[in-house]
Amino acid sequence: MDYRRDIPLAITFLVGIIAVLDYYTTFESVTNTFTVIKNWGVVLQAFALGLGAVNLFRVHGKRVSERTREDWMFSGWLLLMLVLFVVVGLGTGQYDASTQYAWIYNALYMPLGATMYSSLAFYMAYGSYKVLRARNFEAALLFITAVLVIIGNTPIFPATFPVFFNIREWIFGPIVSGAYRGIRIGVGIGAVVLGIKTLVGLETGYLGRW
Amino acid sequence: MAIQMGKQGKIKIRRIPGLDAIEEIVGRSVEMGRPVFDIVGMGVFTDIYATQTIAGLSILSYVSTLCARLGAKLYAPQASVDVLPVAAEIVSESYRMEGKLEELDVEEQLPYLSGTQFAWASGIIGMAARLRPAGNIMIGPFWAESMMFAETFDRIGAMQIGGTARMYQIPFFAALCDYVLIGEEMFAAGAYVSGDPQQIGSIAAQDWYKLAALALGILGALLATAGVTIIGDLLIM
Amino acid sequence: MSIWEKLMSIPREVIMALVFIAILIPALNPLGLPLMVGSMSQAWYDTVDNMPAGSIVLFDIGYGSGGYPSLGPGNIAAFHQMFENDLRIVMMATDLEGSMMYPLIMAGVKPESNYGAVYGEDYVFLGYIAGTQTAMAGVLGDLHALASADYQGTSLSSLPLAAEVGGAEDFDIVAYMTTAGGTAEGWVYQAYSQYDRPILGGCLSMMTTSIKPYYDSGQMLGLMDGIKGAADLEFLTGHAGDAIISSDILSFTQTLVLIFILIGNVAFWMQKGGGK
């Protein structure tokens, strides 16, 4: 018996079976057991969160103390911000509901998050230019469809020529929805089969045994 | 039934170029003296994308084994605190089995960047710009950062494999990656790279279910057109 | 390098610079370009408009700082319409940053001063509830078993609106705005499939192709698709804001992207033809 493989597989099977039974049955003992397991999961996640913070302090603290890397000051900034948010949140006693926490969140984090998301516009613009080339028949189909959808999505074109809106709706309807549903069915089946394989111990890649 | 047939060697599946290319990517990285990135996404084990995370970890196991064997430096930045210890254990185990554990620095090569999307994304983009990897393997659940990663790694000349079952992001990988795994191909990844006949059989089972779904869909559509909704009513029950 | 080869390989810095200019011009000087209200946003508006006064809405703020530029303006417009129609709103957040969006949205809506709304009677915010679908199932199953206090720690039993609602049967409609596909689809599974509650959804434009099938099949009554949908809602509700300005930006930038795509293709075919 390979205990390093068999014990984790047995635990996976046991917990998985309880989860499946909880979904399909209404036995109180199963529900109570699964609730306990879910609570253990919450506790594990809480400890893992601490692990993440420890990891950050170890890695970036080392960079600040050694100062051999060019970007060591950014590690210092990261640690400073980490401590600041925690101190402000816990210190006011109101966590993220405090006005002070809201202020530093809106002043520091919010603009950064919005900027990163907005930078997608630039990535997409360049990606569209580079990729949408009618090199062959399939690429030409993609090119024509993409151009029609972009025109339909640009507010000024449908407002001026409503036919573009109808074209876009037609592409989104039978074509895109149909293709999407096909892929979705495949993904759903694949996920179920992977779940069953994980449950019965056929899939062991997550244990480091591919 | 499929697993039994797989054991008897009766199941053959088509090549999945994206998975065959993993060895090519690692080899390329060794030749160029540049690292390999393997990004398993931002998923956790408790959301609906857990199966994609597990598929990504299966590939991480394979990639880390190849990197240890061939001598490529692997980076696998992490976004989830519950996936981090599992990923670290997987990579450590791979290096240990290849007898190269002393070459692995878990804190440097599997750093925890952040649990929030764009902090993690900007961390990876920064690492890519500094380390200039020769290869990038992204298999797992990805969100909006997929486009950023694909474009950034493309710009620095990395060969890329992208795979996700999150429908919104597949087009971005398809546009910019050299190889792409669409939807359920990534769930077959672990079985495919292992080459285990039993697991190959399970991929066949996946395809049989899909054929059954296709047949039901066609039959249901024809019957519904004729005004008979029995298939739909049965499935709703 | 021929002109066609140069046009096929325009540096990314040039493209990004031009996109930046295309964003800047309408942002600094809104042009009021025409827009056509989409059918899905119109459906959202009509659904809310037809709800009787006093109806209770369960609203999920399922996005954070990254989604706020797209969904925030639409959220504000939606709340304006709901408060105007005397609907009562039980708000929650399935996104970790959703509770940080709440004060920003309320600062834009100002329900007390604009509509005479009273917190606790006309609207209440439960705060972030972890677990996505677990949270949805909990709120719809038995709200008071899941949450005992609101965002600020006030007991739900002391808030009349919160005390009145127990579960799904007390909500007349479920609405959400989210950047997460799992949340968008989760509400369909939990609210529509389990409890037959009507649903209104708001999501990013890139998610529309995935979420629209639920609208087409009738599982959702309205869908606000990204910044364009938000602009539609602002236009319909008469509360012009950032989304309508953004629709000008959208017109400029997407037209520019179209031009680049066409340039790339013309250059490709001219270069290919010249090489024969």
Query: pLDDT tens across A123-143, in order?
Result: 889 888 988 888 889 889 989
Residues B82 and B99 grouped into a single domain? yes
- Which chain A residues contact residue B150 at CB under 8 A? 127
**Is residue C223 a contact partner of residue C211, using CB atoms and an 8 Å limit?**
yes
Average pLDDT over residues C240-250: 90
Find the radius of gyration of the CA atoms of chain B: 20
Give the Cα separation of C67 and C98 in Å (integer): 10
- Which chain C residues contact residue A92 at CB under 8 A? none
**pLDDT tens, A146-183?**
999 999 989 889 989 999 988 988 888 888 888 888 88
Is C236 in a helix, a strand, or coil? helix
What end-to-end distance do the CA atoms of chain B give, in Å? 27
Count how many pairs of residues, chain A against chain B, have C-beta atoms within 8 Å.
151
Hey, is the C-beta of C209 within 8 angstroms of any chain B C-beta?
Answer: yes
**Is residue A150 a contact partner of residue A127, using CB atoms and an 8 Å limit?**
no
Most confidently modeled of B36-40, C28-32, C145-149?
Answer: B36-40
- Which chain B residues contact residue C66 at CB under 8 A? 117-118, 144
Hey, is the C-beta of A69 within 8 angstroms of any chain B C-beta?
Answer: no
Residue B200 tokens read as 């190959």
**pLDDT tens, C89-133?**
999 999 988 999 999 999 999 999 999 999 999 999 999 988 788
Which residues are paired to C56 by β-bridges? Answer: C88
Tell me the CB-side half-sphere exposure of residue B67, using CA atoms within 13 A: 33
User: Which of B48, B117, B168 minimises the CB distance to C66?
Assistant: B117
Average pLDDT over residues B96-100: 94
- Whose CA is closest to C138, among C58, C220, C221? C58
Q: Any idea what the CATH number is for the domain that residue B141 is in?
A: 3.40.50.720
Find where tokens 């996404």 sit.
B41
**pLDDT tens, C140-161?**
988 888 888 999 889 999 999 9
Chain-centroid distance, C-alpha C109: 15
Residues B28 and B120 grouped into a single domain? yes
CA distance C137 to chain B (A): 14
Which amino acid does the sequence have at C156?
L
Per mean pLDDT, which range of A83-92, A200-209, B135-144 is the poorest?
A200-209
3-state secondary structure chain B: CHHHHHHCCCCCCCCCHHHHHHHHHHHHHHHHCCCEEEECCCCCCCCCCHHHHHHHHHHHHHHHHHHHHHCCCEECCECCCCCHHHHHHHHHHHHHHCCCHHHCCHHHHCCECCCCHHHHHHHHHHHHHHHCCCEEEEECCCCCHHHHHHHHHHHCCCEEEEEECCHHHHHHHHHHCCEEEEHHHCCCHHHHHHCCHHHHHHHHHHHHHHHHHHHHHHHHHHHHHCCCCHHHHHHHC
Average pLDDT over residues A46-73: 85
Range of the domain at B105: 15-195
Residues B188 and B207 grouped into a single domain? no
The answer to whether residue B9 is domain-embedded is no
Which amino acid does the sequence have at A53?
A
Q: Which helix (H) or strand (E) holds A170?
A: helix A163-170
Q: What is the per-residue pLDDT for C276?
A: 46
- Which chain C residues contact residue A180 at CB under 8 A? 209-210, 213
CA distance A103 to chain C (A): 10
Residues B105 and B208 grouped into a single domain? no
Give the Cα separation of C94 and C125 in Å (integer): 12
CB contact under 8 A, B108 and A116: no
Q: What is the per-residue pLDDT for A73?
A: 92
Give the Cα separation of B150 and B134 in Å (integer): 13
Q: Which helix (H) or strand (E) holds A125?
A: helix A120-131
Residues B205 and B165 grouped into a single domain? no
pLDDT > 70? residue B148: yes
- Whose CA is closest to B198, among B9, B64, B56, B31? B9
Neighbours of A161 (CB within 10 A): 13
State the greatest distance between any 2 C-alpha atoms of chain B, in Å, as a whole number. Answer: 68
Is C105 in a helix, a strand, or coil? helix
Tell me the CB-side half-sphere exposure of residue C143, using CA atoms within 13 A: 24
Beta-strand pair B179-182/B159-164: parallel
**pLDDT tens, C183-234?**
999 999 899 988 999 999 999 988 888 898 899 889 999 999 999 999 999 9
Report the percentage of chain A scoring pLDDT > 90. 16
* Closest C-chain CA to A158: C36
Hey, is the C-beta of A177 within 8 angstroms of any chain C C-beta?
Answer: yes
Give the Cα separation of C163 and C167 in Å (integer): 11
Neighbours of B216 (CB within 10 A): 14
Which residues are paired to C10 by β-bridges? Answer: none
Report the percentage of chain A scoring pLDDT > 70. 97
Average pLDDT over residues B83-107: 93
Residues B174 and B211 grouped into a single domain? no
**Is residue C136 a contact partner of residue C174, using CB atoms and an 8 Å limit?**
no
Q: What is the per-residue pLDDT for A209?
A: 57
The answer to whether residue B63 is domain-embedded is yes
Give the Cα separation of C132 and C96 in Å (integer): 10
Report the percentage of chain B scoring pLDDT > 70. 99
User: Which of A114, A147, A162 minimises the CB distance to C66?
Assistant: A114
Q: Per residue in C83-110, is it b (16+ CB within 10 Å) or e — as a string?
A: bebebbbbbbbbbebbbbbbbbbbebbe
Which DSSP category does C121 fall into? Answer: T
Residues B75 and B148 grouped into a single domain? yes
Per mean pLDDT, which range of A66-75, A187-196, B94-103, C222-231 is the poorest?
A187-196
Domains identified in chain C and CATH numbers: 39-243 (3.40.50)
- Whose CA is closest to B163, among B133, B190, B140? B140
One DSSP character per residue, A83-114 reads HHHHHHHHHTSSGGGSHHHHHHIIIIIHHHHH
Going from N- to C-terminal start, the domains of chain A cover 1-67, 69-118, 121-200
The answer to whether residue B1 is domain-embedded is no
Residue B4: phi and psi, rounded to 5, are -60, -45
Average pLDDT over residues B11-31: 89
Give the Cα separation of C139 and C132 in Å (integer): 11
Number of domains in chain B: 2
Report the percentage of chain C scoring pLDDT > 70. 99
User: How does the average pLDDT of chain C come out, rounded?
Assistant: 91
Long-range contact set of residues B94-103: C-beta below 8 Å, sequence gap at least 24: B94/A208, B94/B61, B94/B64, B94/B65, B94/B67, B94/B68, B95/B64, B95/B68, B97/B65, B97/B68, B98/B65, B98/B68, B98/B69, B100/B68, B100/B69, B103/B68
Q: Could you tell me the pTM of the whole model?
A: 0.82
Residues B186 and B227 grouped into a single domain? no
Residue C204: phi and psi, rounded to 5, are -70, 155
Q: What is the per-residue pLDDT for A98?
A: 82
Q: What is the per-residue pLDDT for C88?
A: 97
The answer to whether residue B2 is domain-embedded is no
CB contact under 8 A, C38 and A134: no
- Which chain C residues contact residue B117 at CB under 8 A? 66
User: How does the average pLDDT of chain B come out, rounded?
Assistant: 88
- Which chain A residues contact residue B62 at CB under 8 A? 205, 210
Neighbours of B89 (CB within 10 A): 15
Residues B146 and B227 grouped into a single domain? no
pLDDT > 60? residue C55: yes
Average pLDDT over residues A103-119: 87
- Whose CA is closest to C197, among C170, C163, C162, C225? C170
Go through chain C and tell me how many residues it has: 276
Model confidence band, residue C162 (pLDDT cutoffs 50, 70, 90): very high
The answer to whether residue B105 is domain-embedded is yes
- Whose CA is closest to B146, among B162, B128, B129? B162
CA distance A156 to chain B (A): 25
Residues B129 and B216 grouped into a single domain? no
Chain-centroid distance, C-alpha B63: 11
User: Which of A180, A189, A203 minimises the CB distance to B210?
Assistant: A189
Residues B179 and B218 grouped into a single domain? no
Which amino acid does the sequence have at B24?
E
**pLDDT tens, B39-92?**
999 988 877 788 899 889 989 999 999 999 999 999 999 998 889 989 999 999
pLDDT > 80? residue B190: no
What end-to-end distance do the CA atoms of chain C give, in Å? 17
Interacting residues of C77 by C-beta distance below 8 A, sequence separation 6+: C230, C233, C234, C236, C237, C239, C241, C243
